[in-house]
Amino acid sequence: MVFCMWPFCTRASVAPTVISTQDNTPEATSYVEVLPKKEEWESWGKSFRNLLGFKLGRYYFKKYVEKEHSANNFSFWEEVEELSKQTDPDLMALKENKNRGVNPLAIL
């Protein structure tokens, strides 16, 4: 089966409900997931958020940006996403102050 979505196309090995890439590196195998429904992977071409909403979509996009020498930008975005999921009370206070227009460094 070939998955093709601009700007990248790739072959994937498909079991009945699981998809994986032909890349057997530890990083690649961590992106194995349930095969998205046709409507879901078609939506990747319509919305960047849809693409990044799936581990496999993020994997293919990361491979693309590595080829374009922009992997640092994508890594930064991933770190920001992880940071936004943090529940640390101190971090939440900084985020709350930032949303109110308070300089986050003012409370240090």
Q: What is the pLDDT of residue 104?
A: 57
> Mean pLDDT in runs of 10 for the chain (108 residues)?
50 44 58 69 83 84 87 84 78 70 60
Instruction: Give the residue among 80, 106, 75 at the shortest CA–CA distance from 93.
Output: 106
Domain ranges of the chain: 2-107
Which residue in 70, 68, 39, 67 sits closest to 53, CA to CA? 39
Q: Which amino acid is at 104?
A: P
* Residue 33: predicted pLDDT: 56
CATH fold group of domain 2-107: Regulator of G-protein Signalling 4; domain 2 (1.10.167)
- Position 17 scores a pLDDT of 41
Distance CA 33, CA 102 (A): 41
Rounded CA separation 65/74 (Å):
7
